[in-house]
């Protein structure tokens, strides 16, 4: 009996930890700007919970309990660093808070501020996503490192450096002013989408890491939308990720073979996810400001239409890519435009778009070579197609995709 109860308690702690992590770390660090100390304090509070909850039962408001314990721990930590004079006011503030409300049940949700801190322009853009995954979701450095293809120790050091910068670099814990908001919000959205992209690319790995990360990204976007309801680009991003997520079951044949989007069976797509995506996208479009994520979601929406109509409107997709390139041309968007244009108007036009891209910029970019190879093959340019296939195969990381391209190369 006792064993079962203890197991239940542990599961409760795990669940509360996951749900409360970002809220508590954000709240604790909003005053001190010391994210690392807030994380340590939260960790200590969890250790206390593991010791006392199985004995005394789960408190009525577990999150408030954790917050109180974390605060006490934070005060201890700051006391130890007393040499640092500037901590004094913080200490007083925290003490007052603890005295005033030993069982605070409601406290402001500061996660939005923390998200903006993580994606602040003063922080290395490469660290925006890892920081968010750690400080808002509580993922450990080793797991983040795996997803980012970086040695765990290196990731730990980089996260540490970034947090030091947050603490000492004068980065404000606040929601940016109206004037800066679009740009700053885009950085937050980019970071969330990067997490999803990694999860998406790596879903074929032997472990769960990719899939989990994609789910975490969707969860982050939902949190963000809850905090900033009605932001069109947040809804656009959420719609984009949900559309992709809906197709996850169709991306592999039962034997593990890679199935390209155009060959996927729409019956395997998740209808509820597609419907949810469409709902968000429709609401986003009402604002009449089609940003980057809404356009990308619109492209995915056009692909999803095949489930209903049995065909793909490539002209519409090409048009959406054109708009994206008008916002800011990237190799990815130009490659996407070339692929859509080729489907709409013939391979030659697509190839012309690819030819106009600077060769140095694409030497590492796998999708460019895959599209190029496909178009050259359609145009019966054998040797050139072979060369492009080789480049695409050599740049592929996913063994199933590599296999697929080798078959296509013939």
Partner 1 sequence: MQFALMIYHTPEEFAMRTKDYDDPHLGAWRAYYKALVGARVYVGGEALEVPETGTTVRLREGKHRVQDGPYADTKEQLAGFIILEVPSVDAALEWAARCPGASIGAVEVRPLAPEAKRRGFTG
Of 226 and 364, CB closest to partner 1: 364
Of 230 and 394, nearer to partner 1 (C-beta) is 394
CB of 127 to partner 1, least distance (A): 12
Shortest separation between residue 278's beta carbon and partner 1, angstroms:
35
Angle at 318 between CA 313 and CA 324, to 5 degrees: 130
Contact between 170 and 123 under an 8 Å Cβ cutoff? The reply is no
Maximum distance among all alpha carbons in the chain? 78
Question: Given the complex with partner 1, which of 157 and 168 has the nearer CB atom?
Answer: 157
CA dist., res. 2 & res. 23, Å (int) = 31
For 143, the token pair is 């797991």
We find the least distance from the C-beta atom of residue 13 to partner 1, in angstroms, to be 35
For the bound state, the minimum distance from the C-beta of residue 388 to partner 1, rounded and expressed in Å, comes to 10
Least distance CB 396 / partner 1 (angstroms): 7
Q: How far is the CB of 124 from partner 1 (least distance, A)?
A: 12
- Number of DSSP helices (H) and strands (E) in the chain, helices first: 20, 0
Q: d(Cα 77, Cα 100) in Å, to the nearest integer?
A: 20
Is 260 in contact with 403 (CB distance < 8 Å)? no
Per the structure block, which two tokens stand in for 193? 């989408």
Residue numbers of the site for partner 1 (CB under 8 A)? 149-151, 154, 363-364, 387, 389-397, 399, 402-403, 406-407, 409
Count of alpha carbons within 13 Å of 142, Cβ hemisphere only? 0
Q: Which is nearer to partner 1, 169 or 399 (CB)?
A: 399
In the complex with partner 1, the residue whose CB is nearer, 88 or 397, is 397
Helix, strand, coil share (%) of the chain residues, nearest 5: 75, 0, 25
Pinpoint the alpha helices (H) of 172-313.
181-201, 209-227, 232-246, 271-285, 292-304, 306-309
Which residue from 133, 121, 213 is spatially nearest to 165, judged by alpha carbons? 121
| CB closer to partner 1, 306 vs 409 | 409
**In whole angstroms, how close is the CB of 151 to partner 1 at the nearest point?**
8
Asked if residue 75 lies in contact with residue 44, where contact means CB atoms within 8 angstroms, the answer is: no
CB of 363 to partner 1, least distance (A): 4
Which C-beta is closer to partner 1: that of 379 or that of 406? 406
For partner 1, which is the closer residue by CB, 275 or 397?
397
**For the chain, what's the residue count?**
410
Residue 201 CB, shortest distance to partner 1, in Å, is 10
Q: Which is nearer to partner 1, 108 or 260 (CB)?
A: 260
Cβ proximity to partner 1: between 313 and 390 the closer is: 390
* Dihedral angle computed from the Cα positions of residues 14, 20, 22 and 28, in that order, rounded to the nearest 10 degrees: -120
Q: Which is nearer to partner 1, 201 or 278 (CB)?
A: 201
283/137 Cα distance (integer angstroms): 27
Contact 322, 337 (CB under 8 A): yes
Please list, in sequence order, all residues whose beta carbon lies within 8 angstroms of the beta carbon of residue 64, skipping any fewer than 6 positions away: 103, 104, 105
Distance CA 114, CA 37 (A): 14
Is residue 266 classed as helix, strand or coil in its secondary structure?
helix
For residue 252, what are the β-bridge partners? 258
Rounded to an integer, what distance in angstroms lies between the CA atom of residue 113 and that of residue 35? 12
């Amino acid at each position: 009996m006792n064993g079962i109860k203890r197991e239940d308690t542990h599961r409760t702690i795990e669940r509360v930890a996951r749900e409360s992590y970002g809220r508590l770390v954000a709240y604790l660090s909003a005053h001190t700007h010391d994210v690392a100390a807030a994380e340590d304090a939260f960790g200590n509070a969890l250790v206390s919970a593991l010791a006392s909850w199985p004995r005394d039962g789960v408190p009525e408001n577990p999150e408030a309990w954790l917050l109180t314990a974390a605060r006490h721990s934070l005060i201890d930590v700051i006391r130890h660093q007393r040499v640092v004079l500037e901590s004094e006011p913080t200490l007083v503030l925290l003490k007052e808070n603890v005295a005033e409300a030993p069982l605070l049940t409601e406290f402001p949700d500061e996660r939005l501020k923390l998200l903006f801190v993580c994606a602040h322009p003063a922080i290395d853009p490469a660290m925006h996503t890892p920081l968010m995954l750690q400080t808002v979701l509580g993922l450990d450095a080793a797991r983040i490192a795996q997803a980012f293809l970086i040695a765990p120790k290196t990731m730990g050091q980089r996260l540490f450096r970034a947090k030091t910068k947050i603490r000492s670099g004068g980065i404000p814990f606040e929601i940016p002013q109206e004037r800066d908001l679009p740009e700053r919000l885009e950085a937050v959205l980019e970071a969330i989408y990067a997490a999803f992209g990694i999860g998406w690319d790596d879903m074929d790995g032997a472990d769960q890491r990719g899939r989990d990360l994609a789910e975490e990204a969707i969860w982050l976007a939902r949190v963000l939308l809850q905090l900033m309801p009605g932001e069109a680009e947040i809804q656009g991003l959420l719609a984009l990720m949900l559309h992709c997520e809906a197709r996850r079951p169709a991306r592999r044949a039962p034997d593990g073979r890679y199935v390209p989007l155009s060959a996927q069976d729409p019956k395997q797509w998740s209808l509820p996810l597609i419907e949810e995506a469409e709902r968000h996208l429709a609401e986003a479009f009402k604002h009449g400001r089609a940003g980057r994520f809404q356009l990308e979601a619109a492209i995915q929406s056009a692909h999803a239409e095949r489930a209903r109509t049995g065909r793909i409107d490539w002209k519409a997709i090409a048009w959406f890519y054109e708009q994206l390139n008008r916002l800011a041309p990237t190799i990815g968007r130009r490659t996407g435009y070339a692929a859509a244009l080729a489907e709409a108007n013939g391979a030659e036009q697509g190839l012309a778009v690819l030819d106009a891209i600077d060769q140095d910029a694409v030497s590492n970019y796998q999708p460019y070579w895959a599209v190029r190879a496909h178009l050259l093959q359609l145009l019966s340019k054998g040797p050139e197609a072979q060369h492009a296939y080789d480049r695409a195969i050599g740049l592929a990381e996913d063994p199933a995709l590599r296999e697929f391209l080798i078959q296509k190369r013939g």
